[in-house]
Amino acid sequence: MEDLYKQLLEIKPDIILDESPIDNMWPMMDWLKGCADHSKKRGGGEAAAVLRYLEDHRAEVLPYDIKGRNDYFIKMKFFEKEQVYGEACSAYFKQPSANPTAFYLFKLIEGMGRRFGFHETKDKRTIFDINSPLCDVQVETYISLIRQVNKALFSLVPEFSQYERDFGKMMNFHARRDKAMISNILNYNSRFDDKTMVVLCGYFHRYALIKGLEGSQKKHGFSLISDLGSSDKMPQPKNS
């Protein structure tokens, strides 16, 4: 996360918004240290870059993700259910009798995932590659295809219909998260007038946050800089 650290040095934010639940009960510094420890395989991730920046710079780090995120994930067991569904797909498509259209669609989304997904330690793209309009288009297209392909799989393969309801709940929750995060960011913008703000967001949420914030710039009095490769990336007051 050396590139992120250098970006923080260049931008010198007054506020750093972290993608942690807005009702997070953990002290922020403890939370960041825990996240950095969890992400040791990729250099401590964003949390390590923020902690390093805070060693000799003043900035307030605040949470902005949807209220109750962690508890909801635990309650709904999304990770476990997603794994079960994935194993069911893997077993089904090894059968010679697998529906050929479903098989093609499954392989299509697998290929898209390898090309446009995010792969933790294996991902060789830079922070500039990921924080770009091109990547936003790729991710939005990939997520749209995930919805459409799974909708088709539930219809084409009767064995998969049992997973449809949970899949819908998961996708709806992520949509609610996006809306909540946008609302929380705008609330912070109102609180911290004439401050430079950096928003750290997950790979699969970036495009939705940008879309939600772009149309609010004039009304809420801020400028949004989303392309790190642009020549005008340095923030200018009011809020950036």
**Within-domain flag for 228:** no
Do residues 11 and 88 share a domain?
Answer: no
**Within-domain flag for 231:** no
**Within-domain flag for 108:** yes
What are the C-alpha distances in Å from 200 to residues 12, 18, 50, 236?
Answer: 14, 5, 10, 19
| 29 touches 16 (CB < 8 A) | no
Do residues 167 and 78 share a domain?
Answer: yes
Q: Minimal CA–CA distance to 62: which of 188, 208, 216?
A: 188
Token pair listed for 57: 């710079």
Range of lowest pLDDT (54-58, 116-120, 211-215): 116-120
The overall pTM is greater than 0.75? yes
100 by DSSP, 3-state: which? helix
Tally of structural domains, the chain: 2
| 187 touches 95 (CB < 8 A) | no
Do residues 18 and 67 share a domain?
Answer: yes
Angle at 110 between CA 226 and CA 102, to 5 degrees: 130
Q: Which structural domain range is residue 190 located in?
A: 2-72+180-220
Give the pLDDT confidence of 19-39 residue by residue, as tens digits: 999 999 999 999 999 999 988
Query: What CATH number did the domain enclosing 13 receive?
Result: 3.40.50
Do residues 162 and 81 share a domain?
Answer: yes
Give the pLDDT confidence of 182-238 residue by residue, as tens digits: 999 999 999 998 899 999 998 999 999 999 999 999 999 899 998 876 645 544 444
Do residues 149 and 198 share a domain?
Answer: no
Token pair listed for 171: 């996708």
* HSE value, Cβ hemisphere, 13 Å, CA-based, for 100: 0
Mean of per-residue pLDDT scores for the chain: 91
**Within-domain flag for 6:** yes
* HSE value, Cβ hemisphere, 13 Å, CA-based, for 44: 17
Q: Which of 174, 190, 211 is the last residue of a domain?
A: 174
Do residues 152 and 101 share a domain?
Answer: yes
Do residues 82 and 163 share a domain?
Answer: yes
Do residues 197 and 141 share a domain?
Answer: no
